[in-house]
Amino acid sequence: MYAYFIDDWVYNNHHRKLDRLDLVLTQKGIQGRKIKLSRLHDLGGSIKDCLSSGIKTFVAVGSDTTTSRVLNSMLKDNNFSFSFACVPIDEPRAIARVFGYGSMLEAVDALAVHRTSKIDIGLLNKRHYFVTAAVFPKKCSLGFKSYSISSLYRDHHISVCNSNIYMNHTTDYARNFDITDGVFEAVIARRPQVSFFDKMRGKGNDSVYIPETIFPVKSIIIKSKDKTLSVFADAEKQLTSPIKVDILPQMLEVIIGKDFYGSKQH
């Protein structure tokens, strides 16, 4: 049986999509319990309720923020086994893309097929879980056991990636980003320099970051002079510096779609 955690704003802004989702789920025969997530909703209590009813597949319906919220609540008491999935309704939907489905209908198809794989999960300061990547402010530096890495330029982008968040730029290193390999990639990306005249013409202002430095890591410490850092890990989080990032290999069982990329599929 399935439990669908539907975000509040989906009811308010996307009721037609929600009706369509309801219809498709009924057609596929994968209906389940629907839980509306309001801001002050007791998510832990709802999860315990579902577990006591024998539900083992949990689905977050909304965006990456919804998925991150549900996932963090579930993994806090991780002494039970469950399958996890998400249904993307609106942007950002990076987690859904990592799971192998970019749209609502593709996600429903994947739920019906119920093909699963175990993926790595990231952990920030032993408290916050993430799937895709943790993106840090520019002032930070990367610290390892015996060495540290700092950028020589100001306009850079520091991230610890579980999956490839630089998909818009096809690099030769794309194969390094494997969500099932038990290793993170610490990445420093840079924007290509734009000439003054190109800037005046409005070109290059929105140019993408290109990954330039890649380090495979299992554990890393991010240091900064600021005490509180705003980190984007699936959703925005405020964390105290230094931030320790750990990997939990093959921790989460997810329902995967046809576009899922992982070297270890079950």
Partner 1 sequence: MFDSKDKEAVGGFEMREEDAETIIGASVKVDGDFVSEGNVLVQGIVNGSLKTKGNLRVDEGAKIKANVDATNAQVSGEIQGNITVKDSLDLGSSAKVAGDIITKILSIEPGAVLNGHCSVSAMSEESEGNDQPSEIQKPNQKNKKSVLDENLD
- Least distance from C-beta 173 to partner 1, angstroms? 7
Closest Cα to residue 119, out of 81, 87, 163? Answer: 163
Q: Which is nearer to partner 1, 150 or 219 (CB)?
A: 150
Q: Which is nearer to partner 1, 48 or 138 (CB)?
A: 138
Half-sphere exposure of 6 (CA within 13 A, CB side): 20
CA atoms 199, 204, 209, 212: torsion sign: negative
- Least distance from C-beta 156 to partner 1, angstroms? 7
Site residues for partner 1 per CB under 8 A: 144, 146-153, 156, 172-173, 175-176, 188, 190, 212-216
Closest Cα to residue 264, out of 199, 194, 208, 183? Answer: 183
Q: Which is nearer to partner 1, 102 or 182 (CB)?
A: 182
Q: CA torsion 229→5→45→116, rounded to 10°?
A: -90
Q: Which is nearer to partner 1, 92 or 143 (CB)?
A: 143
- Least distance from C-beta 200 to partner 1, angstroms? 25
- Least distance from C-beta 153 to partner 1, angstroms? 5
The amino acid present at 174, given as its one-letter code, is A
Half-sphere exposure of 83 (CA within 13 A, CB side): 17
